[in-house]
Amino acid sequence: MTGELGQLALCFALALSLVMAAAGLTGARADAATARGIAHGATMGMLVFIALAFGALTYAFVTSDFSIADVANNSHTLKPLIYKISGVWGNHEGSMLLWVLVLSLYAGLVSTLGRGGPQLTSGALGVQGLLAAAFILFILFTSNPFLRLDPAPFEGAGLNPLLQDPGLAIHPPMLYAGYVGLSASFSYAAAALIVGEEGWARAARPFMLIAWIALTCGIALGSWWAYYELGWGGFWFWDPVENASLMPWLVATALLHSALATERTGAFRTWTLLLAIAGFSMSLIGTFLVRSGVLSSVHAFASDPTRGFFIMILIFCAIGGALGLFAWRAPTLKGGAAFETVSRETALLLNNVFLVAACAAVFVGTLYPLLLDAINGEKISVGPPYYAATFAPIFFALLLLVPFGPVLGWRRGDLKASLRALAPALGIAAVAVVAVLAVASPRFLTGVCAFAVAGWLIGASILGFLKRKGARASAFAAALAHAGLGVTLMGVAGTTLWRSEALTVLAPGQTMVVGPYTLRFDGVTQEQGPNYRASRAHIALMDGAKVQSMLTPEQRIYPAEGQDTANTAIRTTGFEDLYLALGDDRGNGRWTLRAYVSPLAPFIWLGGLVMAFGGMLSLWGRLRVGARVPSAAVQPAE
Amino acid sequence: MKKFVFLLMLLAAPVLAAPVGDTFSDPATEARARNLQRQLRCLVCQGESIDESGASLAAELRHVVRQQIADGRSDQQIEDFLKTRYGNFILMKPPLQADTYFLWFAPFLVLIGAGAVAIFVISKARRAVAELPPDLL
């Protein structure tokens, strides 16, 4: 029954999304108040039905209803409840349903909280309805999660054990909240082009911020998961799937900055519209990369092209339609940029130049190998050295310039005064350099540069906090987000440059040394988990002859799925991680053990959190201000 | 303290060297081998370099790399040797050749192009400042 209910709910949602699209777009006209009412109603109706469909699938997973193919292929009765639930989005069909659920949630938010004129909101709902309709059609025709199996199998095939992890249980919803959240900015931009309303950037800002915060957290969470779960101590692999989430983040960051100028002085009006379109386009392209199978091989894609082609057509329609609308309507918008060379507008413009170039590096690096393979069959790898040579210098240049933005005035800045204001940050950067030279060895030039820039970023942010007593929340938000960049930079530099490691085969009772730590191997025991067997190593961290603490890295075997995973043991001081992964069994009780000491590793994700807090502060300030001021009123922000 | 750690490392060295496979006793050569291994992609797991891959092919390739280093071949020679056997796909760093110019230069072309547009926008915006009512500045 549940499957049929879900299917039915999905069909109703499709109908309502079409109503939403038609009524919403009609409501973009001034005299169509009735259509606007219908659009709002249809939005809520669609949200309810999508939620019902999602609830039905979740129920099927929780109750292990193996008559539904999706559940049978991706679940198992012995799985703990949390992974039965996360299994809903741990597969293609369910994750697309989550995609549409998030899209509907944003549509609901636009409908209830969206500020800006009624025509603009209605137009945005219309575009959101079009997107929802396209994706529900995609689900119904190529990825239906409610297809039945007859006869139903007695037991399910299980979920990829790598995904059976608390971090990865919440990673996809978080990432989708960001990815798909960019659809709200996209819809607002398209609606603004249709209606010709200029206040769209202000109306869309809360949604941009929510999407950016979620994307930041989602990427940090994914990177953290890769760090502790994959067992190699790495935190970013420049894997195409990771890149697919980084590209929307880079564009969304550019959008947040460009939209500031548009709101405040009307500068970069058309460019901000284009970025809003580009941001969601990157999300769509990322979805295509991850969901079409094109990544594993161009040929795997060609062997089952239905899904890939459907998404490709969808992308062409969405991006092409939006760009067509842009080309047609954007010239009618008044260009209003007026500022001196030294001004905050210039700083924001440079931010965009570097972010777009950085995004281009990731974009080309991710897609060019696929293109080359398709054209002449030549296979190349684009690995970390490529990004170190392209992305890294571009992003580094951006980081150098970041502190200037908040201290320069709008329209006409004062370079001398700004430099004077920032001088103490240079002092902090110098302290950071001295500290690195004193503490760290070996000494790397890149490490010195990284810490200098981190000190510069954090120093400038501290100055921002001190100087701006009584300033708006947004000023503190910017300082916090920029400081987060510095924190992450320190973590990245510390981990990549000063990591020490040891790979040893140990017999029980033997010790090994890694960095400043001495470890004693006390043997391996066999443990039984709910749906796995584990070989658990007992490693004593020694303090002289005393045992300071015990670490237990594991190798888990999941019999239902026939796969094994490494479960690392990480002991952190907050400034340094001791990271242990258990390798293979060498017989006679001897095991391979890999150990890493990663200085400042926790800073990588701490920085991401700090950035996200900056975004939340900005959002809070925005909602508070918005509550006080009538919606359409023009008033300076930031 | 550092000296002590170093001594401990010396004590541990035979354990390190013995069973894991061939490890060079000279730290500089070992570092060179590790660095080279990080530049080579594991052909089975693809996401990882042969330095970090657990696949048996990666172990064989590590052995090849170390054997050739021991034979006194240069990094370039070793990379060329593997490239002729496995193709460019094995190199983490794509080679610079006619069909990868776009890959290597596109980010910087975008940077230059966007920079040029920015200069154009700024110069236009500067001219517009003169026409602004003074109270806006």
Confidence category of residue A303, pLDDT binned at 50, 70, 90: low
> Would A459 be classed as within a structural domain?
no
> Would A25 be classed as within a structural domain?
yes
Q: Cβ A383–B100 below 8 Å, yes or no?
A: no
- Over residues A351-400, the pLDDT tens digits come to 999 999 999 999 999 999 989 988 888 888 898 999 999 999 999 999 99
| A212 closest CA partner among A247, A243, A256, A170 | A256
Q: Cβ B132–A358 below 8 Å, yes or no?
A: no
Between residues B130 and A340, the one the model is more confident about: A340
Tell which A residues from 534 to 593 touch B, by Cβ distance under 8 Å: 583-584, 586, 590, 592
The encoded tokens of residue A399 equal 């980081």
Q: What angle (nearest 5°) sits at the alpha carbon of residue A54, between those of residues A52 and A56? A: 70
Q: Cβ A383–B49 below 8 Å, yes or no?
A: yes
**Mean of the pLDDT values across residues A60-71?**
93
> Would A287 be classed as within a structural domain?
no
Classify residue A239 by burial, with Cβ atoms within 10 Å: 0-12, 13-18, 19+: middle
Worst-scoring range by mean pLDDT, A494-498, A631-635, B69-73? A631-635
B126 and chain A in contact, CB less than 8 A: yes
pLDDT for res A453: 96
Query: Å from B71 to nearest chain A CA?
Result: 24
Dump strand ranges (E) for A484-619: 500-506, 511-514, 517-528, 533-543, 546-551, 554-558, 563-567, 569-572, 576-587, 590-599
pLDDT for res B50: 87
Using DSSP's 3-state secondary structure scheme, residue A27 falls into coil
When CB atoms are compared, the residue of B20, B52, B89 closest to A504 is B20
The encoded tokens of residue A454 equal 């981190």
Percent of chain A with pLDDT over 90: 65
Confidence category of residue A633, pLDDT binned at 50, 70, 90: very low
> Would A12 be classed as within a structural domain?
yes
- Which chain B residues have a beta carbon less than 8 Å from that of A511? 12
Tell which A residues from 2 to 61 touch B, by Cβ distance under 8 Å: none
Cβ A311 vs Cβ A270: under 8 Å: no
What's the distance, CA B23 to chain centroid?
21
Q: Cβ B16–A504 below 8 Å, yes or no?
A: yes
pLDDT at B8 over 50: no
Q: Cβ B5–A267 below 8 Å, yes or no?
A: no
When CB atoms are compared, the residue of B91, B92, B122 closest to A341 is B122
Tell me how many domains chain A contains: 2
Out of A164, A189, A209, pick the residue that ends a domain. A164
Which residue from B minimizes the CA distance to A354? B111
pLDDT for res B136: 66
* CA A65 – CA A381 distance, rounded (Å): 42
Confidence category of residue A28, pLDDT binned at 50, 70, 90: very high
pLDDT for res B46: 59
A519 and chain B in contact, CB less than 8 A: no
Most confident region among A404-413, A447-456, B48-57 by mean pLDDT:
A447-456
Candidates A227, A339, A592, partner chain B, best to mutate (most B CBs within 10 A): A339
At A270, the amino acid letter reads: T
**Mean of the pLDDT values across residues A200-210?**
94
Task: Determine how many CB atoms are found less than 10 A away from the CB of residue A368.
Answer: 20
Using CA atoms, how far residue A393 sits from A369, A387, A396, A495, in Å, is: 22, 9, 5, 18
- Which chain A residues have a beta carbon less than 8 Å from that of B100? 368, 372, 380
* CA A443 – CA B94 distance, rounded (Å): 28
* CA A596 – CA A106 distance, rounded (Å): 42
pLDDT for res A465: 85
B14 and chain A in contact, CB less than 8 A: no
pLDDT at B3 over 60: no
Tell which A residues from 132 to 171 touch B, by Cβ distance under 8 Å: none
Tell which B residues from 51 to 70 touch A, by Cβ distance under 8 Å: 52, 54
Cβ A182 vs Cβ A279: under 8 Å: yes
pLDDT at A126 over 70: yes
Tell which B residues from 75 to 114 touch A, by Cβ distance under 8 Å: 87-95, 99-100, 102-104, 106-108, 110-111, 114
pLDDT for res B42: 83
When CB atoms are compared, the residue of A358, A381, A389 closest to B41 is A381
**Mean of the pLDDT values across residues A93-97?**
92
**Mean of the pLDDT values across residues A312-329?**
93
pLDDT at A23 over 60: yes
- Over residues A260-277, the pLDDT tens digits come to 999 988 889 899 999 999
For chain B, what percentages of helix, strand and coil (3-state, to nearest 5) are there?
70, 5, 30
The parent domain of residue A60 ranges over 1-164
The encoded tokens of residue A168 equal 């990865």
Out of A139, A164, A189, pick the residue that ends a domain. A164
- Over residues B124-137, the pLDDT tens digits come to 999 888 877 776 66
- Over residues B81-134, the pLDDT tens digits come to 998 888 888 899 998 988 899 999 999 999 999 999 999 999 999 988 887 777
At A85, the amino acid letter reads: I
Residues paired with residue A570 on neighbouring β-strands, in sequence order:
A579
Query: Å from A349 to nearest chain B CA?
Result: 7
Confidence category of residue B10, pLDDT binned at 50, 70, 90: very low
pLDDT for res B21: 52
**Mean of the pLDDT values across residues A40-45?**
97
pLDDT for res A255: 97
pLDDT at A156 over 50: yes
What's the distance, CA A602 to chain centroid?
18
Confidence category of residue A231, pLDDT binned at 50, 70, 90: confident
**Mean of the pLDDT values across residues A236-249?**
91
| A593 closest CA partner among A574, A577, A579 | A579
Residues in chain B: 137
CATH number for the domain harbouring residue A523: 2.60.98
Candidates B51, B111, B112, partner chain A, best to mutate (most A CBs within 10 A): B111
pLDDT at B53 over 80: no
Worst-scoring range by mean pLDDT, A265-274, A580-589, B52-61, B109-118? B52-61
The encoded tokens of residue A117 equal 């004129």
Which residue from A minimizes the CA distance to B36? A385
Longest dimension (CA), chain A: 83
When CB atoms are compared, the residue of B54, B91, B118 closest to A350 is B118
Confidence category of residue A460, pLDDT binned at 50, 70, 90: very high
Residues paired with residue A525 on neighbouring β-strands, in sequence order:
A536
Pairing relationship of beta strands A590-599 and A500-506 according to DSSP bridges: antiparallel
- Which chain A residues have a beta carbon less than 8 Å from that of B89? 379-381
- Which chain B residues have a beta carbon less than 8 Å from that of A510? 15
pLDDT for res A358: 97
**Mean of the pLDDT values across residues A312-337?**
88
pLDDT for res A299: 54
- Which chain A residues have a beta carbon less than 8 Å from that of B85? none
B49 and chain A in contact, CB less than 8 A: yes
**Mean of the pLDDT values across residues A32-44?**
95
Edge to edge, what strands does the sheet with A500-506 contain?
A500-506, A590-599, A576-587, A569-572
**Location of structure tokens 């021991």:** B70
Query: Å from A94 to nearest chain B CA?
Result: 25
Residues 6+ apart with CB under 8 A from A146: A3, A4, A6, A7, A10, A56, A57, A68, A70
Cβ A626 vs Cβ A474: under 8 Å: no
pLDDT for res A116: 85
Out of A103, A134, A164, pick the residue that ends a domain. A164
What string of DSSP letters covers B40-99? BB-TTTSSSBTTT--SHHHHHHHHHHHHHHHTT--HHHHHHHHHHHH-GGGBSS---SGG
| B49 closest CA partner among A230, A301, A368 | A230
CATH number for the domain harbouring residue A105: 1.20.120
- Which chain A residues have a beta carbon less than 8 Å from that of B102? 364, 368
